[in-house]
Amino acid sequence: MTESSVSGKIRVLSDAKGHLIENIDTDQIFHNAHLHITEVDKMGTYAFGNLEGWKDFPQKSSPGDILVVGRNFGAGSSRQQAVDCFRSLQIGAILSPSFGAIYFRNAVNSGFPVLRSLELTQLVDEGKLETGDDIRVFFLSGKAQISSKNLSFHILPMSDVQYEIYRAGGLYSYGKTWNQD
Amino acid sequence: MPKTVIEKIIQSHTHDEVEPGKIVWMDLDIRSARDFGGPNVVKNFEREYGDDPVEDKTKTFFTFDLCVPACSLKYADNQQICRNFARKNNIKVFDVDQGIGSHVLIEEGLALAGMTVVGTDSHLNILGAVNCFGQGMGDVDITFAFRTGKTWFEVPETLRVKIDGAVSSAASAKDLTLYILKRLGTQRAALKAVEFYGEAVKNLSLAGRITLCSMVTEMAGIIGFVPEVDENAAYADSVALDVTGLTPQIAAPSSPENVFDVSEFKGTDIHSGFIGSCTNGRTEDLAAAARVLEGRKIKEGVMLKVVPATRRVYQELLSQGILETLFSSGAIVSNPGCGGCAEGHIGLTGEGEVQISTGNRNFAGKQGKGQTYLASPEVVAASCVVGRIIGPEDL
């Protein structure tokens, strides 16, 4: 079996000083005013609609982009839309030092790649990881490569469960193939 | 070395070997959905599973507690979507009269020590107060749990917190909780289970343990427990605190860990008070407020809003004369439920309004455009008597 990976252009969610924005909560990602929206296709328009400096994200992002975000990303409520708005924009993956616990679960259950690396903060601060870099992230070996810079760093490999749900395309599909004992 | 509380509970619900950091599939003793999240669960279920049955109807519940009875057409529709599904599947509904779902599960003896419970309430981890695993989850997870009775879970590391010393006579479980939150912040307990030990927590009542465990969410922790026996398990981290002589505490806007001695804010004008929520809505909490209000009147122009946690609490307010005291003081006492954590119910603030609340969150905009301070029932009651922040001992 060849290992799954995802590649794309990095988009760093940073503040005016170039540091990763930490503690971005679900109301900043997908504001509660839009919670009545249930179709994934329509959610992309509202991604980061309440995050100062990033309200034009849906226009700026391109399908396949890989987001690099600050620690405790997705803190707050349990809303699934805060994950699905990125699926709607066909974002390839989100990398963060850490995620809110419920947010991480929701992303895994949607079959959307969320990956953790404690090296991200320093790499961004030192200017080694920048918007526009081409990155490839390997889900199982815990490796990320930026070919243009001959740079690689560690990520936490996906757990078996996360990988299996990802491969199945989400928790529901995974459960349907599940041979329960 | 002995396992931690959460490791033991998860181990008894999985065939996998449990260790921190490992993801396991675990069996669930209870799965529940409330009036927020519940309608999404029903829609997901019907889309994904059609007319398939829930895995075990005796372990599946709806608990309506946020907008009770429905205060808008949207919520009326949403609750009815859940009721219709429940009727079709023969699932028990704790309806709009019953109060906060997590408290009802404890009162009904459904959530017991050593069990596993999930639901759509992000404060469901208060079940740690009875040494039960409780966890809030999104609607995809809960839909899957309804159908399969299982969930995946990453076994968290455990933080041991030992709290020695005796607080002052004016301080309550809420003051202790706010002080712990101040000391731990939102990083020390992040994504960990927490076990609380020491003389300051050993003698907490159930209501006090609920107050403490409810705010592990605000510490960014997974769940808090108050174990009866200290087995010295393998902890990832440990903290020792001394709370000797602790005085009443208050969390200033706009984050719960922004905690100070009440004396530092003494004299700050307030316009309204709220006593209730899953953190401080037990009979004991409301009785403590009533002791402060006995023979006193709430200042004219100040609103004191009281929301009992459950119907059983409400009954005890009636039978113990607490309701009479609250009413005579001028408080507004509503039917049981969550109160102001949900838009559209009691405890909201208007622009410029300053509220002092026994709730657990005071983030900007959470309860409205006003500012919210968090404190104990005694401090809220005392402050409403004078219209300014004050500790009960200074009345």
B137 CA: distance to closest CA in chain A (Å): 6
List the structure tokens of B57: 């109807």
Tell me the per-residue pLDDT of B111-144, one tens digit each, with 9 for 90 and over: 999 999 999 998 999 999 999 999 999 999 999 9
> Residue A84 domain-assigned?
yes
Distance CA A116, CA A129 (A): 15
B62 with B84: CB under 8 angstroms?
no
- Average pLDDT of B60-66? 96
Which chain B residues are within 8 Å of A105, Cβ to Cβ?
137-138, 141
Please say whether the structural domain B249-394 has been given the CATH code 3.30.499.10.
yes
Range name among A104-113, A118-127, B232-241, B365-374 with the lowest pLDDT average: B365-374
What is the four-CA torsion angle of B24, B27, B29, B35, rounded to 10 degrees?
70
Structural domain of A127: 7-133
Residue A33 located in a structural domain: yes
Nearest to B140 among A77, A106, A162 (CB): A106
Only one residue has tokens 């459960």, namely A175
Classify residue A117 as exposed, middle or buried by CB count within 10 Å of its CB (0-12, 13-18, 19+): buried
Percent of chain B with pLDDT over 70: 99
Distance, in Å, from the CA atom of A25 to the CA atom of B255, rounded to the nearest integer, reads 13
Residues from A contacting B (CB-CB < 8 Å) are 27, 38, 72, 75, 77-80, 98, 101-102, 105-106, 109-110, 159-162, 165, 170-172, 175, 178, 180
> Which residues are within 8 A (CB) of A7 and not within 5 positions of it... i.e. 6 or more apart?
A64, A66, A92, A134, A135, A136, A137
Between B22, B40, B144, which is nearest A175 by CB? Answer: B144
Q: Which of A34-48, A139-153, B290-304 has the lowest mean pLDDT?
A: A34-48
pLDDT digits (tens, 9 = 90+) for B148-206: 999 999 999 999 999 999 999 999 999 999 999 999 998 899 999 999 999 999 989 99
Distance CA B117, CA B111 (A): 7
Return the higher-pLDDT residue of B186 and A166: A166
> Both tokens of residue B256?
């719960």
CB B281 within 8 A of CB B173: no
Q: What pLDDT score was predicted for residue A35?
A: 76
Is B190 in Cβ contact with A106 (below 8 Å)? no
Instruction: Name the pLDDT band for A179 (thresholds 50, 70, 90).
Output: low
- Which tokens in the block code for residue B90? 């023969």
pLDDT at residue A181, rounded to an integer: 45
Rounded Cα distance, A166 and A158, in Å: 10
Evaluate whether residue A157 is within a structural domain: no
CATH code where residue A119 lies: 3.20.19.10
Three-state secondary structure readout of B123-154: CHHHHHHHCCEEEECCHHHHHHHHHHCEEEEE
Domains B5-154 and B158-242 share a fold: no
**Nearest C-alpha neighbor of B74 from the set B100, B43, B119, B36:** B36
Q: Could you give the ipTM of this predicted complex?
A: 0.85
Cβ-Cβ contacts under 8 Å, B137 against chain A:
78, 102, 105
Taking 90 as the threshold, does the pLDDT of residue A23 lie above it?
no
Extents of the domains making up chain B: 5-154, 158-242, 249-394
Beta carbons within 8 Å of A136's beta carbon, 6+ residues apart: A5, A6, A7, A144, A145, A147
Is B25 in Cβ contact with A102 (below 8 Å)? no
Which of these, B114, B285, B293, lies nearest to B209 by C-alpha position? B285
| H or E stretch covering A81 | helix A81-88
Judge: A161–B37 Cβ closer than 8 Å, yes or no.
no
Report the distance separating Cα B216 and Cα B125, nearest Å.
8
Q: What is the mean pLDDT of chain B?
A: 95
Would you state the pLDDT for residue A33?
Answer: 77
Q: Do B144 and A101 touch (CB under 8 A)?
A: no
Give pLDDT tens digits for A51-99: 989 999 999 999 999 999 999 899 877 788 899 999 999 999 999 999 9
> Does residue A176 sit within a domain?
no
Report the gap between the CA of B309 and the closest CA in chain A (Å): 21
Q: Is residue A150 one of the residues assigned to a domain?
A: no
Q: Which residue in A78, A109, A175 is closest to B122 by CB distance?
A: A78
Does residue A55 lie within any of the structural domains? yes
pLDDT of A112 above 80: yes
Which CATH code, of 3.40.190.10, 3.40.50.1100, 3.30.9.10, 3.30.499.10, is assigned to B5-154? 3.30.499.10
Q: What is the CA radius of gyration of chain A?
A: 16
Helix, strand or coil, per DSSP, at residue A70: coil
Residue of B nearest to A156 (CA): B21
Asked if pLDDT for residue B363 goes beyond 90, the answer is: no
Q: Work out how many domains chain A is built from and give that number.
A: 1
Does some domain include residue A51?
A: yes
Judge: A162–B137 Cβ closer than 8 Å, yes or no.
no
Most B CBs within 10 A among A73, A84, A109, hence the mutation to make, goes to: A109
Using CA atoms, how far residue A161 sits from A141, A180, B260, B316, in Å, is 15, 15, 43, 47
For the stretch B195-237, pLDDT in tens is: 999 999 998 999 999 999 999 989 989 999 999 998 889 999 9
- Facing residue for A161 by CB, picked from B139, B152, B191: B152
What confidence score (pLDDT) does residue B210 get?
Answer: 98
Interface test with A, best of B40, B133, B140 (most A CBs within 10 A): B140
Kindly give, in sequence order, each residue whose CB lies less than 8 Å from that of residue B235, ignoring residues fewer than 6 positions away: B4, B157, B158, B159, B160, B195
Q: By the 8 A CB rule, do B361 and B256 touch?
A: yes
Contact between B314 and B47 (Cβ < 8 Å): no
Angle at B104 between CA B248 and CA B10, to 5 degrees: 90
Q: pLDDT grade, residue A3 (50/70/90)?
A: low
**Interchain contact, A80 vs B139, CB within 8 Å:** yes
Assign A125 a pLDDT band (cuts: 50, 70, 90): very high
**Is residue A31 included in any domain, yes or no?**
yes
Q: What is the CATH number of domain B158-242?
A: 3.40.1060.10
CA B206/CA A57 separation, integer angstroms: 47
Q: In this predicted structure, what is the pLDDT of residue B199?
A: 94
Q: Order of strands, edge to edge, in the sheet holding B237-242? A: B223-225, B193-197, B158-164, B237-242
Nearest CA in chain A to B45: A172
